[in-house]
C-alpha cells in the first residue's frame, strides 16, 4: 500500500479510539479535577481554592472512612488470594481432563448473577430471620434469632465472594503454564513444601497474583452495593460518601474532591503493586 493510503487507514482507525478515550475518559476526569478545585462562594460565583480538600482532612468522618475503606480493601484482597490459591492450584495442576474444565466453569457460575443478586443471597442467609439463624435455632445451638448481617465480617464475606472469580482466573492461567519439572527439581534438591512454594511456585505465579490482586483491590475499593446493604451503621464505605455528596446533597464540588481522592488512592496502590512486583500494566492487564 502507498504511504498516503496507509496514513488514511491509520487515521480512520485512530479516530474512534481517540473520540472514545478523549470524550469519555480524559476530558471528564480533567473536569472532575477542575470542579474539585473550585469553591462555591455564592450560588453563581466560583473561585479557585482547596476548601474541599481541607474539609476532607479536618472532618475526621471523611478521612477515617477513607482509611477504613482502603484497609478493608487490602485485607479483602489478601484474604481472597489466600482462599483462591489452593483452588486455582487444584484446577491447574491436580484435576485432569473433564473435571478440570467442569471445576473451572463452576467457579464462573456465581458471576452469571449480578452483584446485587449475590448480595441479596447473602442477606437472605445472614439476617436475623435468615437461614443460618433458623438452622442454628433448629439445631438448638442458640435460643433466639441471631443477627449476622450488618457488621464488618458480613461485609468481608460478601466482598470476598464478589472478588473470587477475578482472582481464580488469572491464577489458573499462570499456574497452568508452569513446568512441573521445576517443582520436582525443587523437591529433589531437598526443599520442603514451604521452600518449594516460596522459591518456585510463588515467583512463577507472580504475574497472575499481581493481576488478580490489582483487579480485586480495585473492584473492592470501588464497590458500593455490598458495603451499603450488608454493612452496619458504623461501617461507611467511601463510595457511599461520594454518592451522598452527588445525589443527596447536590454538593458536586465536595463529591468531585472525594472522587479525585479515591482515584488517587486506587492509582497509588496499583502503581505500588506493579513497582514492588516488577510488573507492567500492559503485561498484567493485556
Residues in 62-81 that interact with other proteins by CB under 8 A: none
Rounded to whole angstroms, the Cα distance separating 131 from 95 reads: 33
DSSP per position, 45-102: -EEE--HHHHHHHH-HHHHHHHHHHHHHHHHHHHHHHHHHHHHHHIIIII--HHHHHH
For the chain, give the number of residues: 286
Would the CA dihedral through 230, 234, 237, 240 be positive or negative?
Answer: positive
Residue 52's alpha-carbon distances to 37, 68, 283, in angstroms, are 7, 20, 37
Among 150, 172, 270, 279, the residue binding other proteins under the rule CB under 8 A is 270
Residue 195 touches other proteins, criterion: CB under 8 A? no
Q: Provide, rounded to whole angstroms, the least separation between the CB of residue 103 and other proteins.
A: 8
Burial class of residue 80 (count of CB atoms within 10 Å of its CB; 0-12, 13-18, 19+): buried
Stretch that binds other proteins, among 7-15, 52-60, 74-82, 148-156 (CB under 8 A): 7-15
Question: By CB under 8 A, is residue 187 in contact with other proteins?
Answer: yes
**Shortest separation between residue 235's beta carbon and other proteins, angstroms:** 17
Q: Is 147 in contact with 128 (CB distance < 8 Å)?
A: yes
Residue 232 near other proteins by CB under 8 A: no
Per CB under 8 A, contacts with other proteins among 13-32 are 13-14, 16-17, 20-21, 24-29, 31-32
- Can residue 99 be called a binding residue for other proteins (CB under 8 A)? no
Quote the least distance from Cβ 223 to other proteins, whole Å. Answer: 7
Q: Which is nearer to other proteins, 54 or 114 (CB)?
A: 114
> How many chain residues bind other proteins (CB under 8 A)?
84
Q: Minimum CB separation from other proteins for residue 53, in Å?
A: 16
Amino acid at each position: 500500500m502507498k504511504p498516503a493510503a496507509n496514513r488514511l487507514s491509520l487515521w480512520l482507525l485512530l479516530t474512534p479510539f481517540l473520540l472514545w478515550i478523549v470524550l469519555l475518559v480524559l476530558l471528564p476526569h480533567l473536569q472532575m479535577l477542575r470542579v474539585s478545585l473550585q469553591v462555591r462562594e455564592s450560588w453563581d460565583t466560583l473561585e479557585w481554592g482547596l476548601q474541599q480538600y481541607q474539609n476532607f482532612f479536618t472532618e475526621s468522618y471523611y478521612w477515617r472512612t477513607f482509611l477504613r475503606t482502603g484497609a478493608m480493601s487490602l485485607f479483602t484482597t489478601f484474604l481472597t488470594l489466600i482462599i483462591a490459591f489452593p483452588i486455582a492450584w487444584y484446577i491447574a495442576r491436580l484435576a485432569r481432563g473433564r473435571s478440570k474444565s467442569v471445576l473451572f466453569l463452576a467457579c464462573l457460575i456465581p458471576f452469571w448473577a449480578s452483584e446485587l443478586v449475590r448480595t441479596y443471597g447473602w442477606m437472605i442467609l445472614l439476617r436475623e430471620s435468615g437461614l443460618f439463624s433458623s438452622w442454628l435455632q433448629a439445631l438448638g445451638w442458640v435460643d433466639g434469632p441471631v443477627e449476622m448481617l450488618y457488621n464488618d465480617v458480613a461485609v468481608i464475606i460478601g466482598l470476598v465472594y464478589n472478588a473470587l472469580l477475578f482472582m481464580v482466573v488469572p491464577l489458573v492461567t499462570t499456574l497452568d503454564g508452569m513446568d512441573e519439572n521445576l517443582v520436582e527439581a525443587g523437591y529433589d534438591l531437598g526443599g520442603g513444601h514451604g521452600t518449594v512454594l516460596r522459591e518456585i511456585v510463588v515467583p512463577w505465579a507472580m504475574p497472575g497474583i499481581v493481576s488478580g490482586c490489582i483487579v480485586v483491590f480495585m473492584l473492592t475499593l470501588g464497590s458500593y452495593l455490598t458495603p451499603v446493604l450488608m454493612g452496619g451503621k458504623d461501617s461507611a464505605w467511601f463510595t457511599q460518601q461520594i454518592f451522598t455528596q452527588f445525589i443527596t446533597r447536590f454538593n458536586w464540588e465536595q463529591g468531585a474532591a472525594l472522587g479525585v481522592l479515591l482515584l488517587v488512592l486506587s492509582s497509588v496502590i496499583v502503581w505500588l503493586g506493579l513497582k514492588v512486583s516488577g510488573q507492567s500494566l500492559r503485561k498484567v492487564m493485556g
